[in-house]
């Protein structure tokens, strides 16, 4: 009984809540499907020549590309579709005077927006699960396919990640890729730059690959060039005396958009045990939550299209303002994420500051247009 009373205080009418939520979800689904189809068609026009270039390519290659590229587009434009759906839903309610009727029944702006917020929560939850289960796998598969020029009948991807740099004492190490051969970690195309105490380059070593066995690294097909004597030394097998363990290479080479949150967290724990900074990865880790959570903001940013009397401005102008707020959020979110990945901003600030900033901005707009204006008295009062 208490729960029912509490629910009625928050959502007075289940029928009204279902009506608003279904309106929002149906528009969101239609916009997302249409937007994804158009963007996929345009993207396919640009990539089709490269996809069909390899020998043996056919319509199956086109379908494979679409199956890997479409999840990326869906994930990328889900918050944008939620913004357009929110604007369209609230503008339609306002145009048909349904907002006026709901306010006349005693509903505040927050209680009108709540069903849209609940629908957005369902979208955000689905977006998060979709990213963690489908998108990350599609990102890794598509990048591997593109790096091999869309070759047909590619073998399974054994590479754990791509190019990485490591600094170890006076050595600077470049590894083109980290792969696995059975239980052995293999470093492909290793470049080693030796420096003296004054950081001047003294020698360069190029090796086809390196692996770790019996507690030691070995370089294979190593070519060493001494910058002082200009002497070139070639060895089929050479011991490589560095303290770096294979786990560090695999951890450093991880790409956040190729792994789930759980896998990324495990990598970060390994790096922290070795004393390696993880701020760049932490920003991406937090963004895996903050990205889908952006959908929750869209009804608040779009609320300007629903509230405010008509004499305060045309409906088209208020829809434009809502779109401007949404686009500003996307720009700020991408900018702060880049700052976090480059280490120029703290991870939490990089991931969540746009969310909270535009949450406050959205509420400020609501209070200014709806809740904060006192009723104006007439001249005869």
User: 226 pLDDT exceeds 60?
Assistant: yes
Mean pLDDT of the chain: 83
Is 170 found in the same domain as 113? no
Q: What's the token pair of residue 112?
A: 């009108």
363 and 336 together in one domain: yes
Residue 3 has pLDDT above 60, yes or no: no
- What share of the chain has pLDDT > 90, as a percent? 33
Q: Give the confidence band of 157 by pLDDT, cuts at 50, 70, 90.
A: low
The C-alpha atoms of residue 154 and residue 156 are separated, in whole angstroms, by 7
Q: How confident is the model at residue 183 (pLDDT cuts 50, 70, 90)?
A: low
Q: What is the CATH number of the domain that holds 200?
A: 2.60.450.10
Look at residue 254 and tell me if it is in a domain: no
Q: Which residues contact 372 (CB under 8 A, 6 or more apart)?
A: none
Clarify whether residues 69 and 142 are in a common domain. Answer: yes
Domain assignment present for residue 216? The answer is yes
User: Which whole number is the average pLDDT over 34-53?
Assistant: 93
Q: Between 363 and 32, where is the model more confident?
A: 32
Whether the per-residue pLDDT at 326 is higher than 50: the answer is yes
Q: Please check whether residue 252 is in contact with residue 276, taking contact to mean a CB–CB distance below 8 angstroms.
A: yes
Query: 182 and 119 in one domain?
Result: no
Mean pLDDT of 348-377: 77
Range of the domain at 110: 2-151+283-371
Residue of higher predicted confidence among 379 and 55 = 55
| pLDDT tens digit sequence for 276-316 | 777 878 888 999 999 999 999 999 988 887 775 554 457 77
278 HSE (CA, 13 A, CB side)? 19
What pLDDT is stored for residue 6 in this prediction?
45
Higher pLDDT, 10 or 142: 142
For residue 378, the model assigns a pLDDT of 41
H-helix or E-strand containing 180? strand 171-181
Q: Give the confidence band of 29 by pLDDT, cuts at 50, 70, 90.
A: very high
Lowest mean pLDDT among 147-151, 156-160, 222-226, 265-269: 156-160
Does residue 145 sit in the same domain as residue 182? no
Strand partners, 222: 207, 235
How far apart (Å, rounded) are the C-alpha atoms in residues 314 and 234? Answer: 77
* Domains of the chain: total: 2
Residue 237, pLDDT > 80, answer yes
Inside any domain, residue 274: no
DSSP for 300-357, written as a single string: HHGGGGTSS-GGG--HHHHHHHHHHHHHHHHHHHHHHHHHHHTTSS-HHHHHHHHHHH
């Amino acid at each position: 009984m208490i729960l029912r009373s509490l629910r009625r205080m928050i959502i007075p009418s289940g029928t009204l809540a279902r009506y608003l939520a279904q309106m929002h979800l149906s528009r969101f689904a239609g916009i997302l499907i249409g937007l994804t189809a158009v963007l996929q068609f345009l993207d396919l026009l640009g990539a089709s020549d490269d996809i069909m270039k390899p020998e043996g390519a056919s319509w199956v290659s086109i379908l494979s590309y679409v199956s890997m590229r479409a999840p990326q587009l869906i994930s990328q434009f889900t918050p944008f579709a939620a913004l357009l759906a929110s604007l369209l839903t609230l503008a339609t309610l306002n145009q048909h005077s349904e907002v006026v009727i709901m306010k006349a029944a005693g509903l505040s702006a927050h209680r009108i927006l709540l069903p849209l917020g609940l629908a957005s929560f369902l979208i955000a939850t689905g977006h998060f699960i979709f990213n963690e289960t489908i998108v990350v796998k599609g990102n890794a598969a598509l990048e591997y396919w593109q790096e091999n020029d869309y070759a047909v009948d590619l073998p399974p991807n054994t590479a754990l990640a791509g190019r990485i740099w490591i600094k170890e004492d006076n050595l600077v190490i470049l590894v083109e890729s980290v792969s696995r051969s059975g239980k052995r970690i293999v470093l492909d195309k290793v470049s080693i730059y030796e420096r003296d105490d004054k950081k001047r380059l003294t020698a360069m070593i190029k090796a086809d690959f390196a692996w770790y066995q019996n507690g030691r690294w070995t370089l294979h097909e190593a070519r060493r060039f001494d910058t002082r004597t200009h002497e070139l030394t070639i060895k089929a097998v050479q011991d490589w005396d560095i303290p770096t363990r294979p786990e560090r290479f695999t951890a450093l080479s991880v790409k956040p958009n190729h792994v789930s949150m759980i896998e990324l967290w495990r990598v970060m724990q390994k790096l922290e045990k070795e004393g390696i900074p993880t701020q760049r990865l932490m920003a991406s880790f937090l963004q895996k939550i903050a990205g889908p959570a952006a959908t929750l903001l869209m009804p608040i940013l779009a609320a300007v299209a629903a509230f405010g009397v008509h004499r305060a401005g045309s409906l088209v102008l208020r829809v434009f303002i809502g779109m401007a707020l949404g686009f500003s959020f996307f720009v700020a979110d991408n900018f702060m994420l880049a700052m976090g990945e480059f280490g120029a901003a703290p991870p939490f600030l990089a991931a969540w500051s746009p969310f909270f900033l535009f949450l406050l901005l959205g509420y400020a707009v609501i209070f200014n247009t709806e809740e904060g204006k006192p009723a104006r008295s007439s001249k005869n009062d």
